[in-house]
Structure 1
Amino acid sequence: MRLDHIDLNLFVLFDALYRERNVTRVAMQLNLTQPAVSNALGRLRQSFDDPLFLRTPDGMQPTPVAERMVADVREALVLLRRSVGAGARFVPATSDKTFRLGMNDLAESLLLPALQSSLAHAAPGVAVASYYVDRASAVDELRAGRSDLLLDAPVFNARELRHAPLASLPYVVAMRRGHPLARRKMTEKAYLAAEHLHVSSRRRGRGQVEIALHSRNLRRRVSMRVQNYLVAARIAQQTDLLWTVPRVLLPLVDLVSRPLPFPVPPLEWHLFWHGNADGDPANQWLRQRLQALAGDLA
């Protein structure tokens, strides 16, 4: 099969159909009629001598051939889109670009209000969409261009990614104002005897505190593990659970804090992006903007 015999727009449709699994939604997204989408799918099937997508009660399901194709197709589309726009300058004041960011709710709380204020003045037409991105799919999200930037701990070692330090956030022990330990010095014995609250979107895995305690053959009792920081703050305000949290969050919650009675490394945040976006003017601009805002978090 020769590439010059294939309409490259068919790969745009392939990507949309893989994502949506629905011909009607693809037609609406691409501003086509349903018969036009069906016709294009027929041409794709003929080119690859495979059905590619099979109609099922759960939508259009990809065949094994389509599954093998999708990563390469998406990477090629990202490269083509960036190449088409490579000659164009990014002008924040007139851009209507939507940036897609992968981050958790702590990062949203600490960075997005300031980012929005900054954009309102420098780039009023620019929009931001923030999503939770699972670590298992993070590299694929960046490779496929579904996310422009990812904010996380420095846990990814994929050679195709680029990254830069963003912030280093020390931990403290937070508790409600009337907590029995609120007016006492926090000792290691008191810390380990208490019950604790922990925030993580993962089903399992040790956090910074557990790693630090494990290195000293110590353990704490985590009585409640939740998915986001707003919920954790409400729980800490209404119970006697201790919450070990980045100090920078304290101005946003009605809690008191004490220094940790043992050393725990700070929470390290890095910005990640795909190597294909390294020289993209818009991506560079947003990285610089976020790095400047994160400098105020220390």
Structure 2
Amino acid sequence: MRVDLNLFTVFEAIYNEGNLTKAANTLHITQPAISHSLAKLRGHFDDALFVRQGHQMTPTPLSKRLIHDVRNALATLNTTLLSNLEFIPENATNLFKIGLRDALESTCLPPLIEATQKTAPGIKIVSLRHNRKTMENDLSSGQVDLIIDVAQPVSELISRKQIISERLCVVSRKNNPNIKTVLDLETYLNMNHVVASYRASGAAIEDVELNRYGLNRNITLRCQHYFAACQVVSNTDLLLTIPESYAQLLKSKHSGLNIHAFPIESPSVDIHLYVNKMRSKEPEIEWLVSSILTLFQQTSSKPTTY
């Protein structure tokens, strides 16, 4: 039995959007056309494929088994069709969607935009706060083109390359009466701290490292953004432990801050670039990935003396 390949494009759109109307809008076709295509697929597989739950279309177990093969097949076809198309940066007008968290947006976007404005002035970039729980699905579905984040578990369908490795450091306000010349471990543990995290609870990377030595600190404030945490630190005696590049950025904008070495030996904070392996063969994605890898190899942080 022959199957129209367009039906699998519809299948992927419904899976990605979880809603027939949204899938229709994504494909720029009518909802009746989506419903008709879904009916054909249901008949072919003898399975509902998607079950309505409220406003959502929830995939059946069969759909969950099919989605990876469908995405790979569509990506392979797309790559084949694009293989002879050359990506010319200076003439490009592409829109790229990059998944970034708060702190990385501040440190990664400025050099990236500066570089791409010189080589591809016509492109546009959208920075999105991605969901780590769905990042693999978002990369496979094209909701984001690539993601820059700390180490996350991914399957063999996703390519992961380290682009940044940096140390943790500690930020305090200038003239903090609790800190003499060097911030030692005893002083660090005796002081109060602020943690910046989107999670309501859970250990930060510095707490994991302290716990390895049987040490704990007192966290007075937990907030969502590094910038807000830094504003608190600049007006109190609290300490903030963050990656070095963001600390240097904050200090360059705020003269009332000091940066100190983290008082114990700690692992580096490794930042990775994530991209779907099949999509990485598309000329424009290949160019963007290559540009980012080259950029951060050139601007990788060097050891700093505080």
Please report the TM-score for the alignment, with normalisation by the length of structure 1.
0.86
Distance 1:216 1:257, change over 3 A: same
Distance, in Å, in 2 between the alignment partners of 1:136 and 1:51 is 26
User: Which residues in structure 2 correspond to 1:141-290 (within 5 Å)?
Assistant: 141-156=138-153, 158-181=155-178, 184-202=181-199, 205-253=202-250, 254=254, 255-290=257-292
In the TM superposition, residue 192 of structure 1 has moved relative to its aligned partner by 0.3
Q: Is the Cα contact below 8 Å between 2:82 and 2:283 reproduced in 1?
A: no
Q: Is the Cα contact below 8 Å between 1:175 and 1:243 reproduced in 2?
A: yes
User: Which residues in structure 2 correspond to 1:2-17 (within 5 Å)?
Assistant: 2=1, 5-17=2-14
Residue among 295, 299, 304 paired with 1:296: 299
- Overall identity of the aligned pairs, in %: 31
Q: Is the Cα contact below 8 Å between 2:194 and 2:238 reproduced in 1?
A: yes
Distance 1:212 1:32, change over 3 A: closer
Distance 1:257 1:150, change over 3 A: same
- When structure 1 is superposed on structure 2, of 11-20 and 196-205 the one drifting more is 196-205
User: Which residues in structure 2 correspond to 1:2-151 (within 5 Å)?
Assistant: 2=1, 5-151=2-148
Q: Is the Cα contact below 8 Å between 1:198 and 1:244 reproduced in 2?
A: yes
Structure 1 residue ranges, 4+ long, deviating more than 4 angstroms after superposition: 202-205
In the TM superposition, residue 124 of structure 1 has moved relative to its aligned partner by 2.3
Please report the TM-score for the alignment, with normalisation by the length of structure 2.
0.84
Distance, in Å, in 2 between the alignment partners of 1:208 and 1:29 is 39
The unaligned stretches of length 5 or more in structure 1 are none
- When structure 1 is superposed on structure 2, of 37-46 and 64-73 the one drifting more is 64-73
In the TM superposition, residue 51 of structure 1 has moved relative to its aligned partner by 2.9
Distance, in Å, in 2 between the alignment partners of 1:242 and 1:174 is 6
CA offsets per residue over residues 48-96 of structure 1, 9 Å max, x none? Answer: 2233334453243434433333333223222222222122111112223
Please provide the CA RMSD for this pair.
Answer: 2.6
Distance 1:26 1:280, change over 3 A: closer
Distance 1:88 1:15, change over 3 A: same
Distance, in Å, in 2 between the alignment partners of 1:82 and 1:213 is 47
Q: How many pairs were matched up? A: 295
Distance, in Å, in 2 between the alignment partners of 1:137 and 1:56 is 20
The unaligned stretches of length 5 or more in structure 2 are 302-306
Distance 1:92 1:242, change over 3 A: same
